Amino acid sequence: MTLEHRHFGATAGFPVVLHHGLVGSAHVGDDWAQASADAGIHLIAVARPGYGQSPPVEMSCIADWFTLVAPVLDTVDAYAVWGVSAGAPYAYALAAQDPRVTRVAATSGLGHVADAGVRALYNQTSQQAFDFFRTGHPDEVRRYWNDALGGGVTHDAGREAILQQRPWGFDLAGIGVPVALWHAREDTMVPFATAERMRDTIPGAVLHEQPAPAHVPTLDTVRAALAFLGE
């Protein structure tokens, strides 16, 4: 199996593997590509199974990502990881399992929603959705997301939602490299309190507050994350 992946920024620079959100792909905007080039970063954007040109693959847990993405990185000696929104758990998974990972950045990163205490930090509507993703039939969850995304922007968003609710398959507290999170206090999709919980769970993690009240990382946040990853 070959995962779709694309290269941006300074292709001779330090590698950073970018993990897209629940709705995403192996593409990035021109501003992110330019920011990567300016930071001397070789940005490798990888589409997870069922996104873009990456074929669907069944996964038992998020930790399976390490094995799936390994062929993309077989010539890389060291690299950093960056997770955006729902891509954050996959960045953490690589940091927990691959000794080549040097740093982790999470921008508007999903909380550890497999934990009931973290789910309780979300509003009631989100908690009800999480219950459905956790207990509903996988086909029903996939149909929900296909309908929500207007006819299948990506047909495996349902699988992602299911995996988020299962045990992730690795220990967040076992991550031993520098981790930095950026999150807006007014984020209405992923509560700021979940980022605080993640900061407190991962040893030495640092949480930066994004001033702009948005879930989408601002360009200033992107630049700060890239600078951190390139250190």
Domain chopping of the chain, boundaries: 5-112+169-229
Q: Which residues 6+ apart lie within 8 Å of 115 measured at CB?
A: none
What's the pLDDT at 41?
Answer: 98
Query: Which of these ranges, 154-163, 181-190, 212-221, has the smallest mean pLDDT?
Result: 154-163
Give the mean pLDDT of the chain.
94
Label residues 208-219 b or e (16+ Cβ within 10 Å = b).
bebeeeebbbee
What's the pLDDT at 52?
Answer: 87
Q: How far apart are CA 3 and CA 98, in angstroms?
A: 18
Higher pLDDT, 225 or 24: 225
Q: Which fold has domain 5-112+169-229?
A: Rossmann fold (3.40.50)
Higher pLDDT, 45 or 143: 45
Q: Looking at 89-176, which runs of residues are DSSP E strands?
A: 101-107
The residue type at 72 = V
β-sheet bridge partners, residue 184: 210
CA distances from 103 to 32, 178, 181 (A): 19, 5, 11
Residue 154 confidence (pLDDT) above 70: no
What are 75-130's pLDDT values in tens digits? 999 999 999 999 999 999 999 999 999 999 999 999 999 999 999 999 999 999 99
